[in-house]
Amino acid sequence: MHIVALKSPDSSDHRSVIHPETIAKLVSLAGVSVSFESGIGRGINVSDQTFADLGLKVLTRDECLLDGDLIITPSSLTLIESASIKKGATVIGMLNPFYALEELKALCDSSINAVSMEFIPRITRAQKMDVLSSQANLAGYAAVLEAAQHLSSALPMMMTAAGTLKPARVFVIGVGVAGLQAIATAKRLGARVEAFDTRDVVEEQVKSLGAKFVKIDLGDTGQTDQGYAKELTSEQIVKQKELQSLVCERSDIVITTAQIFGRPAPKIIDETTIKKMKPGSVILDMAVETGGNVEGSLVDEVVNVNGVKVVGISHLASKVASHASFALSNNIINWIEDFYSEETKNIDFDFEDEVIKSSVLAYDGKILNERFA
């Protein structure tokens, strides 16, 4: 089997789907040869020669698409690219089918198998493949650092000869993987941290990190079987906005992480709330790429509203690209390792397996997930 790795076509995404510290596991598989698109490691300061020295072959993007039996990609492929891939090949990566449905169907129409790593189930044995969690973890860390860059004051309390500097107040909305890491990072930097989530079950996790859990009674909420927050009703969203607005007013940094898998991000901070916040404060919208939690937030822009900076940054995990690439490549290679058969020298698509059943969206010319059929 010839495995090829593509680089991201998005110049703002510096991550690589292969990493020098993880690639040995792939190269060592019996019957496997590995190639990569030239320049794949530029964003993590790894040269083509470094990968070549580890036993990989450098190719152009077109050569990768034409020759690959298993194509690792950080994003969906274009319709033209799909047409150039050999029939029966497999594409694996962050395929983002909710926003690239036509691209998924193009793979299917060309009888190319499609494995979307976003659909890895949240079960114990699949944690090593969970790209959403690994990247969200790093994004939560990066969000705090980026927000701090836009704040004109320090985060920790400082005792100085000139007087005592008060710690910054940080409010994290949404306590998933990204939110928990944002809380932990802000606490490590010395800030006073408050957090809110529609799921009361996360209160203990928030407190264990030394932060205060803000209680807002929204009635019946909860979480899905996969651990995601359930979508709120319009009435619940209005109530959430009203009550969390009071916390936003006293905060120096607000970080929003609320996302619903496969749906546009809910708007939970409106302009009225922003205008109540003090000038110089910062809101970082981690959901800006899926529509945004904050009214007026824009991708890769800083919007000033009455002195409040509303920051939207794409590919936040890419701000720590080397570690993000290490995690991302490990996630994908772990999937390949688990399902590669050294007997057939191919992927064993056993649809009795829960991971295969969840992550394989197209196989043998058919869309398998009814949401995309």
Mark whether 228 is an active-site residue. Answer: yes
Hey, what are 292's tokens?
A: 């945004």
Q: Which residues pair with 4 in a beta bridge?
A: 35, 71
Amino acid identity at 366: K
Name the catalytic one among 199, 228, 245, 270: 228
Name the catalytic one among 13, 69, 130, 252: 130
For residue 25, how many other CB atoms are within 10 A of its CB? 14
Amino acid identity at 57: K
Per-residue CA distances from 207 to 64, 75, 187, 353 (Å): 49, 36, 11, 37
Hey, what are 56's tokens?
A: 């990989």
Amino acid identity at 206: V
Check if the beta carbon of residue 303 is closer than 8 Å to that of residue 296. yes
Residue with tokens 């690439």: 325
Nearest to 85 by CA among 113, 115, 118, 58: 113
Helices and strands in the chain, H and E counts: 12, 19
- Which residues have C-beta within 8 Å of that of residue 268, sequence separation ≥ 6? 173, 237, 240, 241, 244, 256, 258, 293, 294
Mark whether 127 is an active-site residue. Answer: yes
3-state secondary structure of 168: coil
Hey, what are 60's tokens?
A: 């152009």
Name the catalytic one among 12, 47, 49, 127: 127
Name the catalytic one among 133, 205, 245, 341: 133
Round to whole Å and give the CA distance between 155 and 134: 26
Hey, what are 137's tokens?
A: 């973890």
CA atoms within 13 A on the CB side of 177: 16
Name the catalytic one among 61, 122, 188, 199: 122
Mark whether 133 is an active-site residue. Answer: yes
User: How is 55-87 classified by DSSP, letter by letter?
Assistant: T-EEE-HHHHHHH-SEEEESSPPPHHHHHTSPT
Round to whole Å and give the CA distance between 17 and 112: 20
Check if the beta carbon of residue 266 is closer than 8 Å to that of residue 241. no
Show which residues are catalytic. Answer: 122, 127, 130, 133, 228
